[in-house]
Copies of this chain bind each other. A is one copy, B any other.
Amino acid sequence: MKNKVARDIPDDILAATQRQVFNGVDYGHPVTQRVAPKVRATTGGDKIVASIDEVVTKTVADGMTISFHHHFREGDYVFNQVMRSIIDHGYQNLTLAPSSLTNVMNDIVVEAIQKGVVTNITSSGMRGTLGDAVSHGLLAQPVIFRSHGNRARAIEHGEIKIDVAFLGVPNADDMGNANGMDGDAAFGSLGYALIDAQYADTLVLITDTMKPYPNTPASIKQTQVDYIVKVDAVGDPEKIGSGATRFTKDPKELKIAKTVNDVIVNSAYFKDGFSFQTGSGGAALAVTRFLRQAMLDHQIKASFALGGITKPTIDLLNEGLVARVMDVQDFDKGAAASMKGNRDQQEIDASWYADPANKGAMVDKLDVAILSALEVDTHFNVNVMSGSDGIIRGAIGGHQDAAMAKLTIISAPLVRGRIATIVPDVTTVITPGDAIDVVVTEVGIAINPKRQDLIDQLSNVPGLPVYTIEALQQKAEAIVGKPKPLAFTDRVVALAEYRDGTLIDVIKAVKD
C-alpha cells in the first residue's frame, strides 16, 4: 500500500505490525488512553546493589524489553557493561529500546543479535558495524526507527513497554534522586531518559558519584528508582561532549550558514519573541553566531531556543538575547554545566519536547528549525537514515519533530564528494516534504512551492539566489552525474515510523 509520500509499505508488514501508513503531518485531536507502570513499594533500604551483574540477575528475564539512554554519546561506559552481563548470563529474546544507539555500542549489539540475546530493536538510529549488519539482514525482525518525540508517544501508549531501564547518571543518592548536572560525567539535561524513568516497571540507576541524601535538583526522583549500582566510571568526559566548540572555518559550510541566517532574517518569523532550534556541529554553531549578530543588529530577542543545546546558545541566554532555553539534551560541557545554576535553562523531557499526542509540545510552538539531511529530494522529502549505498547509517533524532516548526530549513551541501545531496528521490523518507519549507545549499535555496508566503518574502533578497528544488537537483546531477540505482532485496530490515506511529517508509536489505 502506498502512503502519502508514495512509499510502498508491504501489506504483510502492515498486518504483522498493526500499523497504519503515513497519511499526513497533521495529528489532530485524538483522545488516547495513557499507560502506567507497575510499581513495587519500598521504603528504600533495599535499593543499593553491589554490582551490575547482581542487578542484571535481579531484574532481567527472557523476553523482556530493556532500555538505555544515549546522553553519554560516544563516551558511554554503561551500555557495554550492562549488555556484557546480559550476554554472559545467556538471556534470550530481549527487545532493545534505547533512546538511540551510538557508535560505542555497535559491536556488542551485533554480538547480542548473533547470540539470540537481542531479537528486536527500536531506536532513533544506528550506524557503523551495527547499521551495516542490520542492512545485511542480521536481525530476523525489522528494527523500528522512531523520532525522540515518537519514542515518548510510543512509551506513553504502551507500544514500547519497558520492563527494565538501565540509566547511567553522573550522580545519585542512595534513594535514587539523580540529575545530569554534577559529577565527572555530567551531560546536563536528562531529557530522553526522563521518559524511561517515568514509565519503566523497574528502574536501575548506574552512577559513579554518590551524593548525600537528599540529592537535588532531582531530575530523576526516588519515587521512580528501584536499584542503584555504584561503578568506577559511567562515562568518558572527553567523549560525552560534541567535538565542535568553535564555528566552522570551511568556506562552503560558512556560506550555507550565512544563507540560512539570510533566510531566517528575511522571513516574517524574525521578530521579537521568535523561537528557534539550531543543532550541533560546527556549521550549526556558525548559524547561531550569525543569528546572534542579526538579533543585535535588529534589536530582536527570542522567546526560547530549543533542542540539543550548545554553549553558544547558552551565551545568547546569558546575553539576554534568548529568554529561555528549553533543554532536552546538551551537546557540550558548557551547555551541560550551565543548567544547574540557571533556572531559565529549563530541563524538558522528550514528551514535552516533541510528543504529538500530548497537550502541546515545544516543537508545536517553534518558529524556526534548522535541520540537516543526508538526502533531500524534489518532493522536499528528507532522508537522514540510509547512506548513498543503502546502508543504515543515521538517526531520526528530533528531525521529524522539529520539522513541525513554522519555518523548517534543511541546511545541506549540494553534493558531498561524488554524491548528490539533492536527488530525484531519497533512498528512505524520514521527514515528509510537507514539513519542509526551505532547502539551503551553498549555491542557493529552494522554497517549497506550497509556501507562497515564503516565496514572496525571500525572492528579492540581495545575495540570496532562489531556485526550484528541481533546478538544485539538476545542478547536483551536473556535478556528480546520475548514480547507479541501488540494489535491494525484498526483505524488510527496518521500519521508519513517522512521529505519529504510522509507517513512512521501510528499509530493505542491501544486495551485496
- A residues lining the B interface (CB < 8 Å): 27-44, 47, 156, 175-176, 203, 212-214, 216-218, 221-226, 273, 303-304, 323-324, 326, 340, 343-344, 346, 351-352, 355-362, 364-365
Assess the A343–B29 pair: CB atoms within 8 A.
no
Assess the A326–B365 pair: CB atoms within 8 A.
no
**Closest Cβ of chain B: how far from A229's Cβ, in Å?**
16
Residue of B nearest to A223 (CB): B358
Residue of B nearest to A198 (CB): B198
Instruction: Pick the residue among B36, B37, B42, B175 that contacts A29 (CB under 8 A).
Output: B42
The 10 closest A-B pairs by CB, nearest first: A34-B36, A44-B360, A43-B364, A36-B36, A216-B346, A223-B358, A31-B40, A222-B360, A41-B357, A223-B352
**Closest Cβ of chain B: how far from A336's Cβ, in Å?**
16
Assess the B32–A303 pair: CB atoms within 8 A.
no
Give 20 A-B pairs besides A212-B303, A212-B323 with Cβ atoms closer than 8 angstroms.
A29-B41, A32-B38, A34-B39, A35-B36, A36-B36, A39-B358, A40-B359, A43-B364, A43-B365, A47-B359, A47-B360, A213-B303, A213-B365, A214-B346, A214-B365, A216-B343, A217-B343, A218-B346, A225-B360, A343-B343
Instruction: Pick the residue among B28, B224, B324, B326 that contacts A41 (CB under 8 A).
Output: B28
In the bound assembly, the distance between CA atoms of A38 and B358 in angstroms comes to: 10
Assess the B359–A41 pair: CB atoms within 8 A.
yes
Residues of B within 8 A of A213 (CB): 303-304, 365
Residue of B nearest to A304 (CB): B214
Residues of B within 8 A of A324 (CB): 214, 216
Residues of B within 8 A of A156 (CB): 36, 39
A176-B360, A303-B213 given; A355·B223 CB < 8 A: yes
| Of listed A212, A224, A359, residue having the most chain B CB within 10 A | A359
Residues of B within 8 A of A359 (CB): 39-42, 44, 47, 176, 203, 222-226
Residue of B nearest to A216 (CB): B346
**Closest Cβ of chain B: how far from A380's Cβ, in Å?**
21
Residues of B within 8 A of A346 (CB): 214, 216-218
Assess the A42–B360 pair: CB atoms within 8 A.
yes
Residues of B within 8 A of A212 (CB): 273, 303, 323
Assess the A222–B352 pair: CB atoms within 8 A.
yes
Instruction: Pick the residue among B33, B216, B343, B351 that contacts A38 (CB under 8 A).
Output: B33
Residue of B nearest to A26 (CB): B43
Assess the B34–A34 pair: CB atoms within 8 A.
no
Assess the A38–B44 pair: CB atoms within 8 A.
no
In the bound assembly, the distance between CA atoms of A231 and B85 in angstroms comes to: 58
17 contacts between A and B (CB under 8 A): A28-B41, A29-B40, A29-B42, A31-B39, A33-B36, A34-B37, A41-B357, A43-B364, A44-B360, A214-B303, A214-B304, A222-B360, A223-B351, A223-B355, A225-B359, A225-B360, A340-B343
In the bound assembly, the distance between CA atoms of A32 and B351 in angstroms comes to: 24
Assess the B34–A38 pair: CB atoms within 8 A.
yes
Residue of B nearest to A357 (CB): B41
**Closest Cβ of chain B: how far from A471's Cβ, in Å?**
34
**Closest Cβ of chain B: how far from A496's Cβ, in Å?**
22
Residues of B within 8 A of A40 (CB): 29-31, 359
In the bound assembly, the distance between CA atoms of A235 and B217 in angstroms comes to: 29
A212-B303, A343-B217 given; A361·B223 CB < 8 A: yes
Residues of B within 8 A of A41 (CB): 27-32, 356-359
In the bound assembly, the distance between CA atoms of A355 and B222 in angstroms comes to: 12
Residue of B nearest to A355 (CB): B223
Residue of B nearest to A33 (CB): B38
Residues of B within 8 A of A273 (CB): 212
**Closest Cβ of chain B: how far from A33's Cβ, in Å?**
5
**Closest Cβ of chain B: how far from A9's Cβ, in Å?**
23
Residues of B within 8 A of A221 (CB): 352
Residues of B within 8 A of A38 (CB): 31-34
In the bound assembly, the distance between CA atoms of A217 and B27 in angstroms comes to: 28
**Closest Cβ of chain B: how far from A450's Cβ, in Å?**
19
In the bound assembly, the distance between CA atoms of A85 and B343 in angstroms comes to: 37
**Closest Cβ of chain B: how far from A411's Cβ, in Å?**
25
**Closest Cβ of chain B: how far from A26's Cβ, in Å?**
10
**Closest Cβ of chain B: how far from A39's Cβ, in Å?**
6
**Closest Cβ of chain B: how far from A465's Cβ, in Å?**
34
| Of listed A36, A41, A364, residue having the most chain B CB within 10 A | A41
Residues of B within 8 A of A42 (CB): 29, 359-360
Assess the B223–A344 pair: CB atoms within 8 A.
no
Assess the A39–B32 pair: CB atoms within 8 A.
yes
In the bound assembly, the distance between CA atoms of A396 and B303 in angstroms comes to: 44
**Closest Cβ of chain B: how far from A52's Cβ, in Å?**
20
Residue of B nearest to A46 (CB): B29
In the bound assembly, the distance between CA atoms of A357 and B38 in angstroms comes to: 11
